[in-house]
Amino acid sequence: MTIKKTAQLVNKDILEDRLGFKQHSRSIIFLKANTLIFSPSAQNQYNWFDVRKPNLDFYLNTPSLKGFLIIRFFDAFLVAELDDFIKRMMPNDKFVFTKSIGPHWKFRIRKNGRSYSIYNQQNSAIFYPIKEYSANELEKLLQ
């Protein structure tokens, strides 16, 4: 199994087996009832992850869904409400375009002691504080 494939599997079992979410295709999208999760896995030395525009479009075109960003950051779960994160961190004019994956937003996670924040790599002046959750706390949040 490749390193990338292994990284994508980190804590995926918690989302699927314990919390009952189903992965949409091979994307970062997980669905259950009227809840949608963007759950990228950040398992790299640079602490980065990205969100592709087709994933954003899928969420925005399904307005009845409650959305969360749950980053699987090594053994931690970093959680934010998706609407607020999109509004503050994913401006239409601050994305990256590559031939291989198209338009997407690139983010980095910063850890300072016990707190975390995220910044958009295209505009590193804007930080977004994000809270760490345990699997038990996630279970309560997503019931």
Q: List, for residues 12-31, the tens digit of each pLDDT value.
A: 999 999 999 999 998 999 99
For position 102, what pLDDT does the model report? 94
Structural domain contains residue 143:
no
Question: What are the backbone angles phi and psi of residue 89, rounded to the nearest 5°?
Answer: -115, -5
Look up the domain containing 128 and give its range.
7-138
Structural domain contains residue 63:
yes
Q: Is the pLDDT of residue 71 over 70?
A: yes
Q: What is the pTM of this model?
A: 0.90
What secondary structure, in 3-state letters, does the chain show?
Answer: CCHHHHHHHCCHHHHHHHCCCEECCCCCEEEECCEEEECCEECCCCCEEEEEHHHHHHHHCCCCCEEEEEEEECCEEEEEEHHHHHHHHCCCCCCEEECCCEEEEEEEEEEECCEEEEEECCEEEEEEEEEEECHHHHHHHCC
Structural domain contains residue 113:
yes
Structural domain contains residue 128:
yes
Structural domain contains residue 35:
yes
Confidence of residue 7 (pLDDT cuts 50, 70, 90): low
Range with lowest mean pLDDT among 7-16, 32-41, 69-78, 87-96: 7-16
Indicate the number of domains in the chain.
1
Q: List, for residues 84-128, the tens digit of each pLDDT value.
A: 999 999 988 878 999 999 999 999 999 988 899 999 988 888 899
